[in-house]
């Protein structure tokens, strides 16, 4: 039962006092991305020796977590992530971070139906406004559901969190038990790497397929952002945004006037997203800006909602694809590296959209221990997780071309994908495809 019943005013306490509420065996929720607490995290880490079997759920850590640094053997805290950042991946390699397989848009329902009530939720928000609201900023996701399912709700305030307009994008004081004044640290940023030649080549191919009035979803990574950069110099107009992640590339298109959202059927006039992650320029763009609409992830990612806009264009990365069109985007064998995220849901939603297109992009090769390898392969690496099945695959793009796999047989798919591979690997792939019956002998 929640402590703050009947709409009482939440009590202000220190981070140390809040951490003292945690008992061995409790389940905590840190939320996702920029809502993860910092002052509370440090205070809880200081209590590590006093606690056992404290579970903590989070998603995509944007800076090191004090509880994990204080517990390098995982003896005190059990860390479960719904999507890995590079930091979470390192902790998984060390055996102290664990992944929960999810389609990101379904997570609110998981909390309602399959996850036991949370003992304590600790979320970083803006300071309370005149209406008694603690705004989540640019990270809505499933945080309302976390609040509803938590026995105790603690907010850690940070004035650097941008004001995010939207729906259900905050928690009212009447739902909050305790308030911590945070350390006021600037928001963590995700820098944009300079695009490679392969990124630019892929970007050019995809940009050529985007029409006026298209509604964009851009995934994380250099290739999707390269598409945005090329669109800045192209003639497409009246673009829309309906995405899970709001990126610097999308914000740049908005600032350049290429995004108007006027042709959207759902939330016309609004750039719709569920979380923003990038540089300070991105956070400044959304801060108090009514053109940006931050929604719960079930209202951005579910395919039956995505398809309500026409000409949806979904652009996502993968790390490996086999000759039948299966994309493995989240693991390297049995080593988990990221997560399903919203990739599959946007692939399906874009395909179902009138005039919609889904693009899965990848560079043709990568280097591993000094050896160049092909990302297009006969068989996926043993242990690799299929993120997008072959039956869902639409466009595949490398720096060597673009193909649409819809309506193609296994043999036609294999030939088309071989044509996207690096020339040095095509003969081997063709020979393997014939030997295993994907391409008829003699072809």
Q: Write the secondary structure of the chain as one string of H (helix), E (strand) and C (coil).
A: CCCCCCCCCCEECCHHHHHCCCCCCCEEEEEEHHHCCCHHHHHHHCCHHHCCCEEEEEECCCCCCHHHHCCCCCCCEEEEECCCCHHHHHHHHCCCEEECCCCHHHHHHHHHHCCCCEEEEEEEECCCCCCCEEECCCECECHHHHHHHEEEEEEEECCCCCCCCECCCEEEHHHCCEEEECCCCCCCCCCCCCCCHHHHHHHHHHHCCCCCCCEEEECCCHHHHHHHHHHHCCCCCCEEEECCEECHHHHHHHHCCCECCCCCCCCCCCEEECEECCCHHHHHHHCCCCCEEECEHHHCCCHHHHCCCCCEEEEEECCEEECCCCEECCEECCEECCCCCCHHHHHHHHHHCCCCEEEEECCCEEEECCEEEECEECCCCCCCCCCECHHHCCEEEECCEEEECCCCCHHHHHHHHHCCCCHHHHHHHHHHHHHCCCCCCCC
Reported as a single tens digit per residue, the pLDDT across 406-422 is: 999 999 999 999 999 99
Could you state, in order of their start, the residue ranges of all structural domains in the chain? 11-181, 197-435
Residue 140 clears pLDDT 90, i.e. is over it: yes
Reported as a single tens digit per residue, the pLDDT across 349-366 is: 999 999 999 999 999 999
Confidence of residue 7 (pLDDT cuts 50, 70, 90): low
* One fold for 11-181 and 197-435: yes
> What is this structure's pTM?
0.95
CATH class as words, domain 197-435: alpha beta
Q: What is the mean pLDDT of residues 378-383?
A: 97
pLDDT of residue 192: 85
CATH class as words, domain 11-181: alpha beta
Between 235 and 285, the higher pLDDT residue = 285
pLDDT of residue 435: 96
pLDDT of residue 1: 35
435 is catalytic: no
Residue 57 clears pLDDT 80, i.e. is over it: yes
pLDDT of residue 224: 83
Reported as a single tens digit per residue, the pLDDT across 299-357 is: 999 999 999 999 999 999 999 999 999 999 999 999 999 999 999 999 999 999 999 99
Q: Active site residue: 175, 244, 330, 399, which one?
A: 244
């Amino acid at each position: 039962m929640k402590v703050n019943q009947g709409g009482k005013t939440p009590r202000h306490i220190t981070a140390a006092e809040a951490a003292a509420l945690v008992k061995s065996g409790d389940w905590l929720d840190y939320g996702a991305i920029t809502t993860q607490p910092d002052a509370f995290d440090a205070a809880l880490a200081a209590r590590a020796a006093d606690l056992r079997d404290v579970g903590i759920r989070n998603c995509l850590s944007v800076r090191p977590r004090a509880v994990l640094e204080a517990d390098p053997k995982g003896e005190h805290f059990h860390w479960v992530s719904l999507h890995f950042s590079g930091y979470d991946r390192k902790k998984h390699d060390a055996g102290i971070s664990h992944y929960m397989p999810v389609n990101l848009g379904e997570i609110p329902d998981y909390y309602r139906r399959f996850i036991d009530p949370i003992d304590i939720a600790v979320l970083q928000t803006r300071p309370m406004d005149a209406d008694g609201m603690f705004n989540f900023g640019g990270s809505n996701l499933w945080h309302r559901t976390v609040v509803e399912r938590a026995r105790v709700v603690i907010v850690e305030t940070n004035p650097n969190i941008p004001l995010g307009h939207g729906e259900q994008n905050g928690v009212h004081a009447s739902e909050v038990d305790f308030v911590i004044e945070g350390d006021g640290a600037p928001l963590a940023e995700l820098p944009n790497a300079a695009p490679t030649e392969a990124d630019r080549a892929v970007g050019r191919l995809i940009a050529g397929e985007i029409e006026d009035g298209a509604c964009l979803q851009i995934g994380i990574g250099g290739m999707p952002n390269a598409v945005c950069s090329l669109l800045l110099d192209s003639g497409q107009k009246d673009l829309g945004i309906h995405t899970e992640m709001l990126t610097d590339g999308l914000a740049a298109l908005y600032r350049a006037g290429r995004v108007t959202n006027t042709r959207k059927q759902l939330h016309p006039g609004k750039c719709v997203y569920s979380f923003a992650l990038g540089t300070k320029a991105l956070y400044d763009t959304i801060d108090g800006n009514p053109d940006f609409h931050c929604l719960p992830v079930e209202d951005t990612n579910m395919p039956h909602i995505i398809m309500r806009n026409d000409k949806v264009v979904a652009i996502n990365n993968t790390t490996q694809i086999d000759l039948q069109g299966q994309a493995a985007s989240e693991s390297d064998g049995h080593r988990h590296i990221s997560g399903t995220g919203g990739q599959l849901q946007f692939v399906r939603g874009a395909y179902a959209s009138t005039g919609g297109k889904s693009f899965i992009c990848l560079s043709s090769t990568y280097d591993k221990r000094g050896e160049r390898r092909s990302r297009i392969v006969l068989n996926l690496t043993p242990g690799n997780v299929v993120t997008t099945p072959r039956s869902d695959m639409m466009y595949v793009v490398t720096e060597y071309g673009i193909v649409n796999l819809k309506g193609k047989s296994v043999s036609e798919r294999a030939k088309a994908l071989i044509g996207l591979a690096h020339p040095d690997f095509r003969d081997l792939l063709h020979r393997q495809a014939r030997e295993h019956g994907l391409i008829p002998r003699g072809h």
